[in-house]
Structure 1
Amino acid sequence: MPARTLAALLLAAAPAAAQEPTARQTPFHGYERAVELTLGSGRAVVAPEAGGRVLSFTAGTAEAMWLDPAEKAWKPGQPPPSSAGRFDFGPELTVPAHPKTWGGDWSAEVTKDNAVRLTSPRDDPAGVQLVREFRLVPRGALVGLNCKQTMTNVGKEVREVCHWGRSFSPGGGICVIPLGDRPSRFPSRYAMYEEGATINVRNTDPNIRERDGFLEILAPPRKPKLGFDTYAGWLAYLMPNNVAFVKRFPTFPDRVYNEAAGLTLSVWYPTGPRIELEPIGPRERLRPGESASFTEGWWVIPFPYPQAGERADLRALADRVARLTAAPE
């Protein structure tokens, strides 16, 4: 289907709110216990095997996830390929290893309102157990996916943790990050992770451009891992098929963010077929038995990809995000 036709169909579709969501267990490649969620033009496939991930999120025929070809040959007992809609918790430099929550075999439950709840095994070395709830939500003709992660301290000591989103989308697009109305702590408006633990906050890169109150990552930069301290609460990834994958997430200017550079958002854009889009939550100080949750809202919206020699209309993008998407509940 031509990309512009797809965008027109997304906007012209019947209101999703008038339809009922469905959820059913269905095999997806080697994932026998995958659950498919559908509502209007929206579809998500989540799997409890190999780390409790979103394997597919589509609006119409537009796919927001990048799935490693190795996923098609995945078998139970194998480690999870590094792809698709992953989540995690940090701080990444100090959190203990947690292989059971990262790539273990989770359980799945379809709820009465046709959402799905995935529950991790206990990861005793890290003292954390995770629950992820996925729900399709309507807004006019469009459908978003709310992804809620709950972190519970199942250990005997106080734990300080934070949410990390780590989903992969297909590479080759433009990542747009609104800077918001608060000044950045970073002179370059972003931090670039150099070799080792060095974090460069005065970097310049020809593939990263500041314009009209936004940062644009136009292509893979000199070093792929970038961090941001924006409180705008969303980012958009423009894809060449004339859609934008939008993530909305809450931010908390008066709370502590406990990553090394106090990040609210990270992007990993290496050379190759994928980009990683990573909302980060604030510090959660959990006593034994306490829990904290963080929700990301995912949307695929029509937006024209700039042709050669053109620039994306970033103000129009911000307006479309505000009109067509909803903040996660």
Structure 2
Amino acid sequence: MLHRTSVASLLVVTLTFLLPAPARCEEEGARVISYYGYDDCILLENNQARVVLCPAAGGRVLEYSTDGKNALYLPPGNEGWTYEPGKRGGNMTAGRFDVGPEQTIPRHPQLWAGRWDGEIVGPRAARLTSVKDDATGIRLIREFVLDDNSTFLACAQTIENVSDETVEYCHWSRTFAVGGGICVIPLTEPSRFPNHYVMYESSSTMNFRPEDPNIRRRDGFLEILAAPKHPKLGMDTKAGWFAYLMPNDLMFVKRFPVYEDRVYNEVAALTMSIWYPDRPMCELEPIGPREKLEPGDSATFVESWGLLPRAFPKEGDQVDLQAVAGQVQQALKEADRD
């Protein structure tokens, strides 16, 4: 059994790289470089965007940029850090991915921060593969395909059950974008939550009817203007996309599939989450449905990233939410046509 999700034309390209392929050291728009203290990073690039992947620590994305502006939070101080059991220090930043559900999955530091294998598998395309993790019984494969001529990046994560037991997990994206931005999330009806979101007030307490001056519903959108009283938020929107407007005049867009007829196994059955601390980052988190995998089965979830130019509103100005939605939809249509 192999579940495959669809993110329009980019997915068609992405899935061609799910098949076994010989390792390559260089392809059109793809090569190995040294970056941020690591010697085995993989660069994907075109005339619009740069993507730098890090196999050495967590199978993550270190740079996702256009016009020299990195959308990811990658501070100095952790260059070249690698995970070792019991070793203190280090911090996983930038474009992280994970698996959930958050509250019940076993600890899995090797999947989260350990060394992965990296390979170039085609033009502007690379694959990162984790170890077989004893704690969870799974192996993860992440595949990245940068579009030929735009900033759009397809990010596919495959969960493989390499154990001899049935497992149940879900996709969990944990991307650290640069902080100080504004989240724009299209809302859908019905919602299980009276205010269309929940707020985690502690590790074990969730407010299903929160009120916060920095979060408002307006014109069919949830707008997060600044860090709320409690930073972790969850939504059950079925729109399948959201945007994050950044002070560097870029808009980070994530698109992902949502399944109305499937089980979402986070505590509040979330389709996405935002972690919005009063710090120089914001975590953007699409969440996938439950994948019940028999031994040998695998499941793939694809999210598509885009970077669009968007002037950050000046103090006192409101975001034109309809203009944001229109710009996103037009960009997604163009990406689908390419």
Aligned equivalent of 1:191: 198
Q: Does residue 24 of structure 1 match 2:47?
A: no
Q: Does residue 236 of structure 1 match 2:243?
A: yes
Give the conservation status (yes or no) of the 8 Å contact 1:148–1:295. yes
Pick aligned residue for 1:162 from 170, 177, 192: 170
Instruction: State the AA in 1 paired with 2:99.
Output: F
Offset of residue 71 of structure 1? 2.6
Give the conservation status (yes or no) of the 8 Å contact 1:48–1:105. yes
Aligned equivalent of 1:111: 121
Q: How does 1:100-249 map to 2 (within 5 A)?
A: 100-138=110-148, 142-180=150-188, 182-249=189-256
May I ask how many residue pairs the two structures share in their alignment?
A: 307
Aligned mates of 1:191, 1:252 — CA distance in 2: 20
Q: Does residue 85 of structure 1 match 2:85?
A: no
Aligned mates of 2:262, 2:83 — CA distance in 1: 41
Aligned mates of 1:248, 1:31 — CA distance in 2: 30
Instruction: State the AA in 1 paired with 2:153.
Output: L
Aligned equivalent of 1:4: none
Secondary structure, counterpart of 1:100 in structure 2: helix
| C-alpha distance 21-230 of structure 1, shift in aligned 2 (>3 A) | farther
TM-score for both structures, normalised by structure 1? 0.89
1:282-324 deviation digits (Å, cap 9, x = unpaired): 0110000100001111111011221122101111111110111
Q: Does residue 261 of structure 1 match 2:271?
A: no
| C-alpha distance 75-92 of structure 1, shift in aligned 2 (>3 A) | closer
Offset of residue 75 of structure 1? 5.5
| C-alpha distance 196-327 of structure 1, shift in aligned 2 (>3 A) | farther
Give the conservation status (yes or no) of the 8 Å contact 2:172–2:286. yes
Pick aligned residue for 2:66 from 59, 66, 74: 59
Instruction: State the AA in 2 paired with 1:220.
Output: A
Aligned equivalent of 2:13: none
Aligned equivalent of 1:42: 49
Aligned mates of 2:337, 2:35 — CA distance in 1: 27
Give the conservation status (yes or no) of the 8 Å contact 1:70–1:81. no
1:51-74 deviation digits (Å, cap 9, x = unpaired): 100000011222110013223353
Question: Identity of counterpart residues, as a percentage?
Answer: 51
Instruction: State the AA in 1 paired with 2:175.
Output: S
Instruction: State the AA in 1 paired with 2:48.
Output: S
Taking only aligned residues, the RMSD between alpha carbons, in angstroms, comes to 1.8
Give the conservation status (yes or no) of the 8 Å contact 2:83–2:114. no
Instruction: State the AA in 1 paired with 2:257.
Output: P
Aligned mates of 2:90, 2:141 — CA distance in 1: 18
Instruction: State the AA in 1 paired with 2:201.
Output: E
1:245-288 deviation digits (Å, cap 9, x = unpaired): 11111111111101000000000011111110000000110000
User: Which residues of structure 1 form unaligned runs of 5+?
Assistant: 1-19
Aligned mates of 2:83, 2:102 — CA distance in 1: 27
| C-alpha distance 305-21 of structure 1, shift in aligned 2 (>3 A) | farther
TM-score for both structures, normalised by structure 2? 0.87
Q: Does residue 310 of structure 1 match 2:320?
A: no
1:43-100 deviation digits (Å, cap 9, x = unpaired): 1000101110000001122211001322335367567522100000011111111111
Give the conservation status (yes or no) of the 8 Å contact 1:249–1:328. no
Aligned mates of 2:42, 2:337 — CA distance in 1: 21
Instruction: State the AA in 2 paired with 1:40.
Output: N
Aligned mates of 2:249, 2:256 — CA distance in 1: 23
Secondary structure, counterpart of 1:222 in structure 2: coil
Give the conservation status (yes or no) of the 8 Å contact 2:28–2:122. no
User: Which residues of structure 2 form unaligned runs of 5+?
Assistant: 1-26
